[in-house]
């Protein structure tokens, strides 16, 4: 039996009740501007934290840095295999939807929490009338070995409203037969957060605190299974970063998955030449990124943030679902398969081209995406998308 969950009374007259789902680190930056925009427009956001990420440094730190309210519901699911984690989230989320009876369930990004909650809401639609919206719809890597690709495709398939962060998402959705009427271009909500928090991040001056000189250090983040779950691949990436570290300090805030695997594979010696940190808070990360000469990463969000900041980025993956960061931004893919020589060549190229980096940000990466999400939800509920938000060909 699902547990009984008390829902607050519908707090606004005329406003929408909108469940916003966050679970993993990158979700918090995407949710915050939507939550604030909904509040400003007189709607009632209900924040649900699935608990997919739970360490203070992977979760609480972001609530503080982003000034997010305490979640209305914390599902506390924790880690597990894909099936276990997804199932636990679904089981815990179902009674929340039944109790809250929202107009919308909005899911963000491509993590297991995104898929699990979209599935629950889609199946409760006949009973509760709630609709499902996906923020960050339409991104595709074409790589089905990535759990995120499965999450993206299935989430988009069950969503009523697909809200895209960049224009390159639209042909992907058309190719899958998604009707244009279900798609709206809103831009990148993660960049809303970046633009809003940049002054604070600059004040934070975290790089200086670490004794790093602006423009004279590199930053790296690693957590993709393709890089850290295979001992040979992980070894190769760390050797490459070690080679870069001969040219300038490499700061590596280490994701818990990567730390666990480095210990399991006995790779401690390869971490020694790097400035390894615990995962850092959002303002600290933004401060580090903004002052970096080059960023080397397998993160999706960091590819976008470096483009928004004009900082050169080398992506340590075979492909990216965010091609706009290459075509209109500062990102490039390291030659694949990754080798120390290939990564160092890409690093040097990025460094040399750093000065060319400044260019206009991609369309919709303007700090107003959260507002457009709120407007698109309201328009779709009232019977259609408005002309401005409607997918422009
Ligand atoms: C997840 C997302 C990935 C996203 C990343 C952002 C999925 C399938 N993957 O990957 O798309 O890019 O988050 O960071 O949803 N752990 C802790 N403390 C925590 C969280 C995790 O120690 O607070 C450790 C646990 O050992 C856990 C492992 O990290 O098993 C992996 O966590 P999980 O959420 O399953 O996947 P991520 O690799 O974090
Ligand atoms: N980030 C952070 N501290 C860190 C590493 C990353 O605040 O130690 C931020 C980063 O700036 C971006 C987000 O976390 O806003 C990206 O999350 P992550 O790389 O975990 O996931 P992905 O974007 O790859 O799904």
In a domain, 8, yes or no: no
Nearest atom of ligand 1 to the alpha carbon of 223: 38
In a domain, 283, yes or no: yes
244 lies in the same domain as 148: no
207 lies in the same domain as 266: yes
Give the closest residue (by CA) to ligand 2 atom 9.
282
Strands 183-185, 218-221: parallel, antiparallel or unpaired by DSSP?
unpaired
The answer on pLDDT for 309 being more than 70 is: yes
In a domain, 208, yes or no: yes
Radius of gyration of the chain (CA): 20
Domain hosting residue 214, numbered range = 200-357
Nearest atom of ligand 1 to the alpha carbon of 52: 34
The answer on pLDDT for 86 being more than 60 is: yes
Q: Find the CATH number of the domain harbouring 178.
A: 3.40.50.2000
In a domain, 10, yes or no: no
315 lies in the same domain as 372: no
Residue 342 CB coordination number (10 Å): 18
In a domain, 39, yes or no: yes
Known catalytic residues? 223
233 lies in the same domain as 329: yes
SS3 content of the chain, % helix, strand, coil (to 5): 50, 15, 40
Phi-psi region of 376 (alpha: psi -120 to 50; beta: other; left: phi over 0): alpha
Nearest atom of ligand 2 to the alpha carbon of 278: 8
DSSP string, 310-331: T--EEE-SS--S-THHHHSSSE
166 lies in the same domain as 214: no
133 lies in the same domain as 114: yes
350 lies in the same domain as 242: yes
Based on the structure, what is the number of domains in the chain?
2
The conformation of residue 145, written as its DSSP 8-state character, comes to T
What is the distance in A from the centroid of ligand 2 to the CA of 195? 16
252 lies in the same domain as 271: yes
Per-residue tokens: 1: 């039996």
* Nearest ligand, CA 26: 2
109 lies in the same domain as 250: no
pLDDT at 383: 83
pLDDT at 355: 54
- Please state the pTM of the whole predicted model: 0.96
336 lies in the same domain as 373: no
Q: How confident is the model at residue 200 (pLDDT cuts 50, 70, 90)?
A: very high
In a domain, 50, yes or no: yes
In a domain, 2, yes or no: no
In a domain, 242, yes or no: yes
Per residue in 370-385, pLDDT (tens digit) is 999 999 999 999 886 5
Residue of 45, 43, 90 lying closest to 72 (CA atoms): 45
What is the distance in A from the centroid of ligand 1 to the CA of 142? 21
The residue-averaged pLDDT of 136-146 equals 98
Per residue in 34-58, pLDDT (tens digit) is 999 999 999 999 999 999 999 999 9
Cα–Cα distance list, 95 to 46, 113, 124, 125, 285 (Å): 14, 15, 10, 13, 36
Per-residue tokens: 229: 């779950």
């Amino acid at each position: 039996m699902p547990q009984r969950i008390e829902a607050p009374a519908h707090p606004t007259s005329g406003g929408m009740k909108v469940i916003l789902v966050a679970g993993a680190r990158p979700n918090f930056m995407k949710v915050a501007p939507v939550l604030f925009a909904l509040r400003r427009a007189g709607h009632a956001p209900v924040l649900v934290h699935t608990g997919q990420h739970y360490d203070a440094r992977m979760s609480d730190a972001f609530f503080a840095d982003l000034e997010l309210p305490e979640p209305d519901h914390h599902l506390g699911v924790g880690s597990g295999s894909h099936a276990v984690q997804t199932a636990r989230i679904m089981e815990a989320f179902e009674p929340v939807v039944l109790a809250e009876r929202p107009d919308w369930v909005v899911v963000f990004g491509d993590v297991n929490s995104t898929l699990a909650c979209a599935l629950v809401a889609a199946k409760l639609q006949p009973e509760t009338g709630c609709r499902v919206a996906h923020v960050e719809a339409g991104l595709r890597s074409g790589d089905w070995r990535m759990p995120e690709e499965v999450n993206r495709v299935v989430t988009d398939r069950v969503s009523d409203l697909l809200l895209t962060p960049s224009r390159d998402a639209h042909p992907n959705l058309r190719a899958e037969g998604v009707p244009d009427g279900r798609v709206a271009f809103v831009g990148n909500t993660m960049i809303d957060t970046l633009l809003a928090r940049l002054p604070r991040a600059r004040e934070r001056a975290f790089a200086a605190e670490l004794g790093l000189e602006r423009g004279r250090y590199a930053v790296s983040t690693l957590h993709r299974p393709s890089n850290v779950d295979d001992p040979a691949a992980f070894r190769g990436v760390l050797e490459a970063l070690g080679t870069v570290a001969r040219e300038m300090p490499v700061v590596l805030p280490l994701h818990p998955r990567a730390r666990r695997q480095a210990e399991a594979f006995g790779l401690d010696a390869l971490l020694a030449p790097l400035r390894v940190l615990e995962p850092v808070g959002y303002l600290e990360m933004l401060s580090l990124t903004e002052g970096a000469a080059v960023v080397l990463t397998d993160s999706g969000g960091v590819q976008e943030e470096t483009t928004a900041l004009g900082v050169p980025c080398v992506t340590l993956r075979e492909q990216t679902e965010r091609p706009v960061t290459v075509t209109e931004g500062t990102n490039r893919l390291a030659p694949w398969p990754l080798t120390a020589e290939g990564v160092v060549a890409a690093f040097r190229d990025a460094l040399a081209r750093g000065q060319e980096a400044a260019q206009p940000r991609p369309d919709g990466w303007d700090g107003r995406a959260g507002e457009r999400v709120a407007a698109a939800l309201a328009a779709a509920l009232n019977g259609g998308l408005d002309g401005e938000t409607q997918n422009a060909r």
